[in-house]
Amino acid sequence: MPHTSAAHTPPAEPPPATAQPAVFTAPRHQVSITTVTLNDQGRVLLVRDPWQAPEWTLPTAALEAGESVRQAAVRCVRERAALPVEPDRITGAYKALAPAHLNLTWIAAPATDRPARHGALWVPTHEALELLRADDADHAPTGRPPLAQRLLDAHAPFGTHMRLHRPRPPAAHTAHGVPAPGAHRPPAR
């Protein structure tokens, strides 16, 4: 049997590269923060929705990278109404089926008595509910529009509400959720 030494052994082949290049994957959920701001008179702060003007809405913003949910609650009111607030607690977590979206709603009080900027409005809760009913893109299982439901949940004396919103109806539906002629009708539940 021939003698082989380590000096005459051919070099070993390097192992095959198994590392895959880094691939960006989008987050599984989009997270937004809504802040229900109530003043000493029990009025609710509403702001104009820049994407759906002239509709009134509750201040809402997307959660930014590295930002706490409390910081986002303060930021969304500061950006939309130029008003500093003191968030108290989370009053609800709302999940939409499609797209994967999670909203956390806070209740807050204004940190100052100065008025909010133009484009913001303080209204009694019952008027705010009427103004928010225009938000009929999807509904909570309660049958109420999501923003109206979030406002009602924020007024509840205790607890954090967890609700699931139905997905937006397809474009083939009319404004009232009734299928347009010839549109596919989803099965009844």
Closest-CA residue to 33 (of 129, 101, 115): 101
Residue 50 has what pLDDT?
65
Which of 80-84, 98-102, 108-112, 172-176 bottoms out in mean pLDDT, i.e. has the lowest? 172-176
14 burial via Cβ count (<10 Å: 0-12, 13-18, 19+)? exposed
How is 26-78 classified by DSSP, letter by letter?
--S-EEEEEEEEB-TTSEEEEEE-TTSTT-EE--EEEPPTT--HHHHHHHHHH
**Per residue in 134-156, pLDDT tens?**
554 545 455 567 888 889 889 88
**What per-residue confidence (pLDDT) applies to 143?**
55
The three-point CA angle 160-161-165 to 5° equals 150
Question: Among 10-14, 19-23, 119-123, where is mean pLDDT lowest?
Answer: 19-23
Between 122 and 99, residue with greater pLDDT: 122
Question: Is residue 100 very low, low, confident or very high in pLDDT (cuts 50, 70, 90)?
Answer: confident
Q: What is the pLDDT of residues 16-31, one digit of tens each?
A: 666 555 665 555 668 9
- Average pLDDT on 165-175 reads 50
Of the two residues 148 and 186, the one the predictor is more confident about is 148
